[in-house]
Chains A and B, each alone.
Chain A
Amino acid sequence: MNSPNNTDSLHPLEIQVLRALGKDPQPLTDLQLAQHTELAASQVSMAVGWLLTKQLVSLTSETTTTYVSLTTVGTQFQQAASPPEWILQTVKTAAQEGSSPTVKDLQGTGHFQPTELSRAIGILKKEGVLQLGTGGTLEATGQASATIEALRSLLNRVHEGSRPLDSFASDHQSLLRQYAVKRGNTQEPFRIDDHTERAYCLTDEGRNLLPHLREGAAQEISQLTPELLKDGSWRNVSFRKYSINLRPPRLAVGRRHSYREFLDTVKYKLTSMGFQEMRGELIETEFWDMDALFMPQFHPARAIHDVYFVKNPQKAKTIPEPFLSQVAQVHRDGGTSGSKGWKYEYDSERAKRLVLRSQGTAVSARTLAQNPPIPGKFFSIARCFRYDNVDATHATDFFQVEGIVLGSDINFRTLLGLLQLFATEMAQAKEIRFFPAYFPFTEPSVELHVRHPKLGWMELGGAGLFRSEVTVPLGVTVPVIAWGLGLDRMAMVALGIQDIRDLFTSDLEAVRNMRRQF
């Protein structure tokens, strides 16, 4: 934050810490701060953290001390008895009753873990405090145990409060280490760990703020409640001012998918330009996907892209007439289209082969066969499939934005006019260029290049006048423009995506973060 520190935005905890540091000429440790402010250690550390980032306090020293404290096990030992203590007492009590317990008997009482008992018995035997009688019985020799006494005194001393390890005599230190919690054994009475003690003092800026700290900060409230409103008591409290530049918490909200939203704008743009939406099926026959588009069944023009074939069933039941005969005719010899045709024997069975729709133009072909209104403008945003290796530029299925325009006034120049309109409407482009292109189903064919304000020169789409070999067999006698727009690159740049597969990502975080830059 570059803005000067404002005392109003200080949290009450921060104010208390600042005051405590202001009263004492010496730097104060976390512990001292907690004592002076009567705050919990966690509150102090929170407030100090904030003040450090605001550079109102600074760290003056950092010392690491090793402390010894009691674990819950240790507290139990201190209040009752440590294992050696208990063993000696039990053996002595039994002896008074005239019996000698075995190790098994002691284990049978359920006090302490067997391993703990064996360790304690081992120590006591070594000290000569216990000895083994016949039949494995334990007997007290009457000698005093140094370990029991030392442990007792340590338990009592540490119970008063954790102490630095080096405040103990060195033999006691090694005993403490022996009985301290370690990895693999958590059932020990002592815990030895490092405490880093930090001391803080005010910075100059912090000191300058002191006279301006507001009074009664502790009574400030942070949240207005229904109760405060109901009884009007909000009038008697003051509201803490917030640091309004902190990042707010994230929300999980409902939202449209960014790529689909992009396609939504495309469809609204097209309807606003007078285009009517067409829909089709995902599974098509080769007839509608290719033959009707004058792509010959056995010819290089067919191999312009590879398709996915359906496994079962492999063929459609029928292809509607008169379209099958008319398309077959136009492939054979041109029929009545004014063309020579491809001059080959058309295979009506192959026409039934089922494929996953490989081009949106198949949807347009079906529309042409449905006696469409003239003049008419149509579009579809059709899911298409290509038999291709999936990589950063090829998705397994993707959308094609394409359509047709039918009218008696259609010609090459109105085709260019339509493309010019697309350039301004779809890409906000003022500069455009037309290039000759090749599509099996249009002649003449055009490629539209535009200068996009953000992307520079790019290919925006391809179009052409449908060949008579396409329109005539489907019963259309007026000229027809067929157009397709390649908008995915624009979408990817707008969404900040490099890999086309990410348009359909399954990563929810990525979906939530996706947004249109323009």
Chain B
Amino acid sequence: MPTISIFQEDFCGLIGRSASMSDIEQWMPYVKGEVKDVSPDTGEVRVELQDTNRPDLWCVEGIARQIRSVLNKGMTPYAFFSDKKGAKRRIQVAQGMEAVRPYVAACVSLGYAMTPEGLDQCIQTQEKLADAFGRKRETVSIGLYRFASIAFPVTYGLVKPDEIRFTPLGFEEKMTPQEILTVHPKGLEYGSILAGCERLPLLWDSDGQVLSFPPIINSRELGEVQLGDTDLFVEVTGTDLSMVVLALNIFACNLADRGATIESVDITYPYKTEFGTTVTTPLDMNQSQRISLEAIEQALGMPLGSEAIQEALASYGYQVKATRQSVSVALPPFRNDLMHVMDVAEDVAITRGYDSFSPIMPQTFTVGSLSVEEQTSDRIRDLLVGFGFQEIFSNIMASHQELVDRMRIADTEYARLVEVDNVMSQTYACLRPSILPCLLRVEAQSPRAFYPHLLFEVGETAQLDLEANVGSRTTLSIAAISANSGANFSEIHSYLDLLMYYMVWPYELEPVTHPSFLEGRVGRIRCHGHAVGYIGEFHPEVLEAWQIDMPTSGFEFEIRKPEA
């Protein structure tokens, strides 16, 4: 979810009327935006945009366009999408691009002199689109150039990593693409996108001047747009043609909204694309489609009628064609997010305002219930609270040190854990297979809390089980410890015995050896014939590892679903 900066004055210019801060806030539902911060002095508004399917709204021009459309009850189509005269300029795509970065889209923007706010917004849009929509430039990246210096046609082709030299943005000297990948900050940041490519993508003009090394960096000569520049060349390259074209459409509309005249560019491919071998961009990819009014009315729970729905959709920017039998709609060319009639239904609801729909209270009768596991947990919790135990509630993620090393079970069969691959912090690198370490953590951190300490937790644990479909099982366990100067086996056994009595779970203790507990003072708990857990006095080495000075004993066992 991108957060962007817009400026009140700039915004007002784009919607063509004055707007107060509270107006802007009130209109935010139309763009699924949330105002995060307002600076009244500078007129800056920080807006978070929620919809990952509406990259056209990740810029002030797009937000203004959507709101303008609703306020004006519709929008005039952008003429350049239906320009049938054919483009004056061309990009030739070279052989071999299909294996590296297959698609490019471009346009020319004339007659809009770059203002400071215009340039800032252009850069912000370029970054947000390439970063969030283009997956950090992997699928989409964007370049802006000074149009006047470019000799068309432009070639989008491949070069050997050290075949050519040009001056990249941010540097004074000429470098090869290979040098850029190893030295330039952008090369280091985005170079992995081109990993394994023997030849690298490059845009150059008919005079042999380099425009850019996509998706890494522009050339300094052609690709450094400055304030006051009136004519721009815009290109988008990437791996998904629809996304590449959509990003260019958005950029073209943004510049048009600021007063530029947009001219198309022909892209000629030596291979087939879903839009043919010559693609004229910007390109309106949306086709008109019939929608079921009934489906929309049913979904919204309101018989709105054809006219109201048409009006709402037109207001929201759709192109609507109605015949007596049906209604066809098309999204505006800067959007590409219509997958299902429900997407249309939501736009109707947004245009009309969610508050205009009166809620209907649920009428259907259903029986509520808790799961058997939860009911059993609650009974155990009630009993232990009655026995005088304080309930503890822990995180399920913990460190290897806590779960294994401090429990004295390193390199034993008990040390089998579910671990995470992408560790963020060693403190939270594993899922707990047992709750006892969580209770010992509390004891270790609480020597100053007055004694006795009787603690318990009922909760989920993860058992590594390579037989299981997902390689592990989620189990429900009860663990309890007693820490006080007189804590011993007999005391904790009394609590276990009482718990088992009231739960009506006959159990046996089987003498075993367990590294966490003192030899001869530990037992395996067997219930209904299953080994379900352990009870014992913690080994002094375990207590030392936790830096616990108090004798501590405890038990833990898995709560099994009663067998059918």
Enumerate chain A interface residues (CB-CB to B < 8 A).
250, 252-257, 259-260, 264, 267, 270-285, 298, 300-301, 303-304, 308-314, 316-318, 334, 337-343, 354, 356, 375-377, 383, 385, 387-390, 395-397, 405, 407, 409, 411-414, 416-421, 433-438, 440, 443-446, 465, 467-469, 479, 503-504, 506-509, 511-512
Nearest residue (CB) in B for A307 is B422
Asked if A282 contacts B474 (CB within 8 A), the reply is yes
Asked if A300 contacts B386 (CB within 8 A), the reply is no
Interface residues of B in 67-111 (CB under 8 A from A): none
For residue A205, give the distance in angstroms from its CB to the closest CB of chain B: 37
By a CB distance below 8 angstroms, the chain A residues around B343 are: 443
Interface membership of B431, Cβ < 8 A: yes
Asked if B393 contacts A416 (CB within 8 A), the reply is no
For residue A146, give the distance in angstroms from its CB to the closest CB of chain B: 55
Nearest residue (CB) in A for B452 is A252
Asked if B359 contacts A356 (CB within 8 A), the reply is no
Nearest residue (CB) in A for B420 is A308
Asked if B446 contacts A507 (CB within 8 A), the reply is yes
Stretch from B12-20, B294-302, B322-330 forming part of the interface with A:
B294-302
For residue A353, give the distance in angstroms from its CB to the closest CB of chain B: 10
Interface membership of B340, Cβ < 8 A: yes
For residue B471, give the distance in angstroms from its CB to the closest CB of chain A: 4
List 6 additional contacts besides A283-B471, A508-B455; criterion CB under 8 Å: A276-B367, A385-B396, A412-B300, A412-B302, A444-B349, A508-B453
Alpha-carbon distance A438/B48, docked complex (angstroms): 12
Interface membership of B181, Cβ < 8 A: no
Asked if A316 contacts B354 (CB within 8 A), the reply is no
A420 with B359, Cβ < 8 A, contacts A301-B52, A390-B425 known? yes
Interface membership of B366, Cβ < 8 A: yes
Interface membership of B504, Cβ < 8 A: no
Nearest residue (CB) in A for B354 is A434
By a CB distance below 8 angstroms, the chain A residues around B242 are: 343
Can you offer 12 A-B residue contacts whose CB atoms are under 8 A? A257-B390, A271-B368, A279-B373, A282-B462, A282-B474, A283-B431, A303-B132, A334-B340, A356-B431, A412-B301, A504-B393, A508-B446
By a CB distance below 8 angstroms, the chain A residues around B421 are: 308-311, 314
Residues 354-397 of chain B: 1 if any A CB is under 8 Å from the residue's CB, otherwise 0? Answer: 11011111111111111101100010010011111111111111
For residue B182, give the distance in angstroms from its CB to the closest CB of chain A: 28
Residues 232-253 of chain B: 1 if any A CB is under 8 Å from the residue's CB, otherwise 0? Answer: 0000000000100000000000
Asked if A338 contacts B371 (CB within 8 A), the reply is no
B50 is contacted by which of A388, A437, A444 (Cβ under 8 Å)?
Answer: A437
By a CB distance below 8 angstroms, the chain B residues around A436 are: 29-30, 32, 346, 349-350, 354
By a CB distance below 8 angstroms, the chain B residues around A395 are: 395
A316 is contacted by which of B367, B373, B388, B471 (Cβ under 8 Å)?
Answer: B471
Residues 289-326 of chain B: 1 if any A CB is under 8 Å from the residue's CB, otherwise 0? Answer: 00000000011111000000000000000000000000
Asked if A511 contacts B298 (CB within 8 A), the reply is no
Interface residues of B in 433-491 (CB under 8 A from A): 438, 441-446, 448-455, 460, 462, 464, 466, 469-474
By a CB distance below 8 angstroms, the chain A residues around B50 are: 437-438
By a CB distance below 8 angstroms, the chain A residues around B368 are: 270-276, 377
- Which residue of A298, A300, A503 has the most chain B CB atoms within 10 A of its CB atom? A300
For residue B548, give the distance in angstroms from its CB to the closest CB of chain A: 12
Alpha-carbon distance A56/B453, docked complex (angstroms): 41
For residue B375, give the distance in angstroms from its CB to the closest CB of chain A: 9
Interface membership of B428, Cβ < 8 A: yes
By a CB distance below 8 angstroms, the chain B residues around A300 are: 52, 55, 132-133, 135
A276 is contacted by which of B55, B369, B384, B450 (Cβ under 8 Å)?
Answer: B369
A283 with B362, Cβ < 8 A, contacts A300-B135, A356-B420, A507-B445 known? no
By a CB distance below 8 angstroms, the chain A residues around B346 are: 436, 443-445
By a CB distance below 8 angstroms, the chain A residues around B451 are: 252
**Which 6 interchain pairs have the tightest Cβ spacing?**
A411-B301, A508-B446, A413-B301, A271-B368, A444-B346, A416-B359
For residue B452, give the distance in angstroms from its CB to the closest CB of chain A: 6
Interface membership of B503, Cβ < 8 A: no
For residue A289, give the distance in angstroms from its CB to the closest CB of chain B: 11
Asked if A416 contacts B360 (CB within 8 A), the reply is yes
For residue B137, give the distance in angstroms from its CB to the closest CB of chain A: 13
A308 with B446, Cβ < 8 A, contacts A256-B385, A317-B469 known? no
Alpha-carbon distance A362/B349, docked complex (angstroms): 27
Interface membership of B273, Cβ < 8 A: no
Alpha-carbon distance A123/B420, docked complex (angstroms): 77
Interface residues of B in 379-424 (CB under 8 A from A): 381, 384-397, 418-422, 424
Nearest residue (CB) in A for B133 is A300
Interface membership of B53, Cβ < 8 A: yes
A283 with B474, Cβ < 8 A, contacts A255-B385, A413-B300 known? yes
Interface membership of B512, Cβ < 8 A: no
By a CB distance below 8 angstroms, the chain B residues around A279 are: 371, 373-374
Alpha-carbon distance A356/B419, docked complex (angstroms): 10
A310 is contacted by which of B300, B418, B449 (Cβ under 8 Å)?
Answer: B418
A285 with B455, Cβ < 8 A, contacts A300-B52, A311-B421, A509-B448 known? no
Nearest residue (CB) in A for B140 is A300
Alpha-carbon distance A465/B340, docked complex (angstroms): 13
Interface membership of B345, Cβ < 8 A: yes
By a CB distance below 8 angstroms, the chain B residues around A309 are: 420-422
Asked if B360 contacts A413 (CB within 8 A), the reply is yes
For residue B286, give the distance in angstroms from its CB to the closest CB of chain A: 11
Interface residues of B in 503-546 (CB under 8 A from A): none
By a CB distance below 8 angstroms, the chain B residues around A340 are: 338-340
Nearest residue (CB) in B for A378 is B366
Alpha-carbon distance A405/B365, docked complex (angstroms): 12
For residue B188, give the distance in angstroms from its CB to the closest CB of chain A: 22
Asked if A252 contacts B450 (CB within 8 A), the reply is yes
Interface membership of B51, Cβ < 8 A: yes
Alpha-carbon distance A281/B476, docked complex (angstroms): 11
Interface membership of B341, Cβ < 8 A: yes
Alpha-carbon distance A259/B457, docked complex (angstroms): 13
By a CB distance below 8 angstroms, the chain A residues around B446 are: 506-509
Nearest residue (CB) in B for A280 is B474
- Which residue of A259, A277, A412 has the most chain B CB atoms within 10 A of its CB atom? A412
By a CB distance below 8 angstroms, the chain B residues around A377 are: 364, 366, 368
For residue A445, give the distance in angstroms from its CB to the closest CB of chain B: 7
For residue A403, give the distance in angstroms from its CB to the closest CB of chain B: 11
Interface membership of B164, Cβ < 8 A: no
By a CB distance below 8 angstroms, the chain B residues around A465 are: 299, 342
Interface membership of B1, Cβ < 8 A: yes
Asked if B470 contacts A354 (CB within 8 A), the reply is yes
Nearest residue (CB) in B for A301 is B52
Asked if B360 contacts A506 (CB within 8 A), the reply is no
Asked if B364 contacts A409 (CB within 8 A), the reply is yes
By a CB distance below 8 angstroms, the chain B residues around A468 are: 340, 342
Asked if B474 contacts A281 (CB within 8 A), the reply is yes
Alpha-carbon distance A285/B443, docked complex (angstroms): 35
Asked if A312 contacts B369 (CB within 8 A), the reply is no
Alpha-carbon distance A479/B342, docked complex (angstroms): 11
Asked if A467 contacts B357 (CB within 8 A), the reply is no
A271 with B369, Cβ < 8 A, contacts A254-B384, A256-B381, A257-B391 known? yes
Alpha-carbon distance A79/B364, docked complex (angstroms): 99
A396 with B395, Cβ < 8 A, contacts A300-B135, A506-B442 known? yes
Asked if B388 contacts A253 (CB within 8 A), the reply is yes
Asked if B471 contacts A411 (CB within 8 A), the reply is no
Nearest residue (CB) in A for B346 is A444
Asked if A417 contacts B300 (CB within 8 A), the reply is no
Alpha-carbon distance A283/B420, docked complex (angstroms): 11
By a CB distance below 8 angstroms, the chain A residues around B424 are: 308, 387-390, 396
Asked if A390 contacts B428 (CB within 8 A), the reply is yes
By a CB distance below 8 angstroms, the chain B residues around A512 are: 390, 449
A397 with B395, Cβ < 8 A, contacts A438-B53, A443-B343 known? yes
For residue A194, give the distance in angstroms from its CB to the closest CB of chain B: 33
Nearest residue (CB) in B for A356 is B420
A318 is contacted by which of B355, B363, B466, B469 (Cβ under 8 Å)?
Answer: B469
